[in-house]
Structure 1
């Protein structure tokens, strides 16, 4: 199970890193042109960049605390924060009628919930 939790965290970290780099370093107009990026037209540049930075931090928070054995409790805390972020993403895509993207967000939410459950519960990192 530990391997499954590490794998889920790694997959989610890649998703967060990809989204974070894109939202942080790609212009809002370019993002709006991508499939699923239309929501960026409804919000300010600062909001998009803030989400990007949060996703970059999530990518780090899912892996580094446990890998470095420094405050490993941050791994499940980050996973819970990702769940909240995905709820917002699902609402946003659902309102826009982008149900396939909302479904993808649900998969990411499920991965994060699995990580939070496992790392807060039976497979928590011990000090």
Structure 2
């Protein structure tokens, strides 16, 4: 995978997860529940924690490589976001919200591609 493709994937993943994370951090649970039914299964603090994980993951896929500071964190952040989407898909599966699983799969695959594209930074 070319460096340009990996950067494009990183930016797409960062934008998607930053937007989702900020929304969960800034909006009250009742407001989120208007368009995200799954929120009713979680406390406000749990929803905020999910938002924080998404926002930190978004930052983590970009900044370490961009700044050259601990670049090993970028593939780890991408792996974390992939696992986050696996968890989200399981929540939607349990709730029988099948159309939402497609979004989780797409975002999870994009994050997984970033992980694969940045595996060289893991020094394995």
> What band does the TM-score fall into relative to the shorter chain?
over 0.9
Q: Any runs of at least 4 consecutive aligned residues in structure 1 with deviations exceeding 6 A, and if so which?
A: none
Matches of 1:100 and 1:56, distance apart in 2: 24
RMSD: 1.4
Aligned residues: 122
Offset from partner CA, 1:52-89 (integer Å, 9 cap, x none) = 11111111101000111001111100011011101100
Structure 1 unpaired stretches of 5+: none
2:95 is matched with 96
Residue in 2 that maps onto 1:3: 4
- TM normalised by structure 2 equals 0.93
Distance 1:6 1:101 in 2: 26
CA separation in 2, counterparts of 1:73 and 1:48?
27
1:38-117 paired onto structure 2 within 5 Å: 38-117=37-116
TM-score, L = length of structure 1 = 0.91
* Stretches of structure 2 lacking an aligned partner (at least 5 in a row): none
Larger displacement relative to structure 2 (94-103 or 18-27) = 94-103
